[in-house]
Amino acid sequence: MRELICITCPMGCHLAVDTDERGEMKVTGNRCVRGEQYAREEIFNPKRVVTFTCAAVLPDGSVPGPESNLPRRVPVRTTIAFPKERIPELLGALRGMTIRLPAVRGSVVLKKALDTEVDVIVARSIASE
């Protein structure tokens, strides 16, 4: 048996997920049908939107110095929810990346990241000076 808390609405139902005699998934503790859908998704195909930052570099390749008004990190995000078990792998890929300023919100950092249908995009436009 697995215990989950449904986060579809603020009620936060405590769900118990089990299999019945015929091997079918059985959810209890939910107050509405959305609880069962949440449990099914969370058990078979858990996904999360991943938000992270990459290092910013100036057009000449240098890093914004302490006297600069520019941020040293550029926020990035997955366009849609990403398979949960592969998040560490995705973060590993993003950790080594730099983004050259000016950064443009919505521009693609990683196309079809790790061969999924999910892109990683820039979440903030930042000028280069």
Sites of contact with another protein (CB under 8 A): 4-5, 7, 9-12, 31, 48-53, 55-56, 69, 71-73, 75, 77, 84, 87, 91, 105, 123-125
- Closer CB to another protein, 20 or 85, in the complex: 85
Q: How far is the CB of 97 from another protein (least distance, A)?
A: 13
- Closer CB to another protein, 25 or 63, in the complex: 63
- Closer CB to another protein, 46 or 59, in the complex: 46
Q: How far is the CB of 19 from another protein (least distance, A)?
A: 22
Q: How far is the CB of 49 from another protein (least distance, A)?
A: 5
Question: What is the phi/psi pair of residue 90, to 5°?
Answer: -65, -45
Distance separating alpha carbons of residues 30 and 4, to the nearest angstrom: 10
Q: How many Cα atoms are found within 13 Å in the side-chain-facing hemisphere of 102?
A: 7
Find out whether 99 and 78 touch, Cβ atoms under 8 Å. no
Tokens of 85: 């078990």
Q: How far is the CB of 5 from another protein (least distance, A)?
A: 5
SS3 89: helix
- 103: nearest Cα among 47, 50, 45, 64: 64
- Closer CB to another protein, 25 or 91, in the complex: 91
